[in-house]
Amino acid sequence: NAGVTQTPKFQVLKTGQSMTLQCAQDMNHNSMYWYRQDPGMGLRLIYYSASEGTTDKGEVPNGYNVSRLNKREFSLRLESAAPSQTSVYFCASRSTSGALWAQYFGPGTRLTVL
């Protein structure tokens, strides 16, 4: 049981390049989330998917797109990277039993845009 996994762990992009961050969970959770974490700003929600087949914008969606590929996988795409998107990106999924309101996080992707 790996929990939430993310790839890649690190990435350096040039301004204007595109990339997709991958996330997968093996806990059979319905809801999945993408956050970015910046110094002094805390965790900010980019997009979320309440269930397979649905996606919705969070607090800071501009410049990003998402795809809920199936129940396990939720990807985040940067179509034209900008230096302001330099950040650490975390994927999370929400429990469907026990602590129904808690989210479980992956290890993160450190992205630098030059």
- Pick the closer one to other proteins by CB: 17 or 27: 27
- Is residue 27 part of the contact set for other proteins (CB under 8 A)? no
CA triple 94-100-29, angle to 5 deg:
35
- Pick the closer one to other proteins by CB: 62 or 99: 99
Instruction: Tell me, letter by letter, the H, E, C secondary structure of 63-102.
Output: CEEEEECCCCEEEEEECCCCHHHCEEEEEEEECCCCCCCC
Contact with other proteins (CB under 8 A) among 41, 69, 82, 114: 41
Q: Residues interacting with other proteins, by CB under 8 A?
A: 4, 31, 40-43, 45, 48, 50, 56, 90, 94, 99-108, 110
